[in-house]
Structure 1
Amino acid sequence: MTVYLTQFLVALPAIFFVVDPIGVVPLFLAMTAGDTKEKVRSTALRACLVAGGLMTFFALFGTIIFKVFGVSLGAFRVAGGILLLITALDMLRARPSETRTSPTEEREGAVKEDVAIVPLAIPLLAGPGGIATAMVLVARGNTMTGTLPVLAAIILTFVASYFILRASGLVQRVLRQSGVAIVERVMGLILAAIAVQFMADGAKELLK
């Protein structure tokens, strides 16, 4: 039980911070401007369900993907760590990360009829960094039971993401732009430490 709790306490902040629903709030507000409350709730729900489902899929079948492409866990840990570090550095500078979405994708999303799947679910919520994080965390467990804490962390992250996006207007008013920037920087610092740990673990494995 202690092992599962430890794995969960490592997985939850890693997944929550890389998904970063608070950082998505300003984009969500821009993309759903003028929508009814019912449509905003529906958009948030579908985006979180699709993003959560995608990350769960890669968490469960990541090992098979490693084998198909002949990629070692050590190499993927280093690559995932580098990707997370880039995202973390952008968060520390309180600017949108282009590993998640580009300005062009944001502009296209603002004028689309339905933004729940693209770009909200993919790549804003379930971007390359989130997918890589889920796969690396599950691979560290090495057993099927080791995946349960990671799956629980994914579910909890997207439940929280739904409520944050649903109340996006309130979150924006309470935190304001400066508050969002402060939260982003704190998350970025923790995420940078997790990224360095991923790279260190991967490097050790590659050097064996």
Structure 2
Amino acid sequence: MLSMMFSLYLKMLVLYSPFFVLSCFIGLTRGYTVKERKRLAWKVALGTLVASVLLYLFGQSIFNVFGITIDAFRIGAGSVLFISALGMAQGKPAVQSDNVQQDVTIVPLTIPLTVGPGTIGAMLVMGAGHHHWNDKLTALAAIALASVTVGVVLYLSNRIERILGEQGLQIVSRLMGLFVCALAAQIIFAGVKNYLAP
């Protein structure tokens, strides 16, 4: 159970890409005080947790309502995640920081940066794939831990920015992009394999 939780926790961290979110967070909060940044970090973590838990718990219902098979959704979600990850790996800016006065907690920091289209698809697939409550509770604990980790990374944004610098943040973001590409490919392959299986 602990090994499953740790594995899911690592997958959630890759999906959330906290260092990619951190680079966007720093850009979007240039005019903020340290105290405001720290408060915003926990708001983003809470938003990420709520959005992820809702997607995870109601994934099966969405498949039932729309009549989509889980394997078809795996292929679609993996493709969207792969496209998003390519932009991340190439270092393309995700958002523009034109107006720092607006509240950036939910949009764009929580959705679509932390919980983007690919992450949404992966959460729906994960939720629909777990049928036993033991698995569900383990996954929810992993989601909670990953959300807290995102909050901690953003909370320490000033220190991390000083240590890594802008170049260091870009390097880490691109590495995260490569990991997300690999995870997306795995989701697509699983969908294709199950879809073609007799």
Distance 1:16 1:64 in 2: 25
2:118 to 129, 138, 154: 129
Distance 1:149 1:200 in 2: 25
Residues 55 and 33 (structure 1), Cα distance of their counterparts in 2 relative to 1, 3 Å cut: same
Distance 1:34 1:112 in 2: 8
Structure 1 residue 71, shift from structure 2 partner: 0.8
RMSD over aligned Cα atoms: 2.0
Count of aligned pairs between the two proteins: 197
Residues 6 and 76 (structure 1), Cα distance of their counterparts in 2 relative to 1, 3 Å cut: farther
Distance 1:142 1:133 in 2: 16
Summarize the alignment of residues 103-122 of structure 1 with structure 2, pairs less than 5 Å apart.
103=95, 106-107=96-97, 110-122=99-111
Q: Among all aligned residue pairs of Structure 1 and Structure 2, give the percentage whose two residues are the same amino acid.
A: 34
**Offset from partner CA, 1:9-31 (integer Å, 9 cap, x none):** 43222221221121122322232
1:68 to 54, 57, 65: 65
The 8 Å contact of residues 134 and 150 in structure 1, kept in 2 or not, is answered as no
The 8 Å contact of residues 14 and 133 in structure 1, kept in 2 or not, is answered as no
TM-score (norm 1): 0.84
- Aligned counterpart, 2:137: 148
The 8 Å contact of residues 66 and 73 in structure 1, kept in 2 or not, is answered as yes
Residues 107 and 182 (structure 1), Cα distance of their counterparts in 2 relative to 1, 3 Å cut: closer
Structure 1 residue 146, shift from structure 2 partner: 1.8
Structure 1 residue 148, shift from structure 2 partner: 2.4
3-state SS of paired residue (1:113): coil
TM-score (norm 2): 0.88
Distance 1:30 1:181 in 2: 12
Residues 35 and 91 (structure 1), Cα distance of their counterparts in 2 relative to 1, 3 Å cut: closer
Unaligned runs of 5+ in 2: none
Summarize the alignment of residues 166-181 of structure 1 with structure 2, pairs less than 5 Å apart.
166-181=155-170
The 8 Å contact of residues 82 and 118 in structure 2, kept in 1 or not, is answered as no
Unaligned runs of 5+ in 1: none
Distance 2:86 2:62 in 1: 28
- Aligned counterpart, 2:14: 17
Structure 1 residue 185, shift from structure 2 partner: 3.0
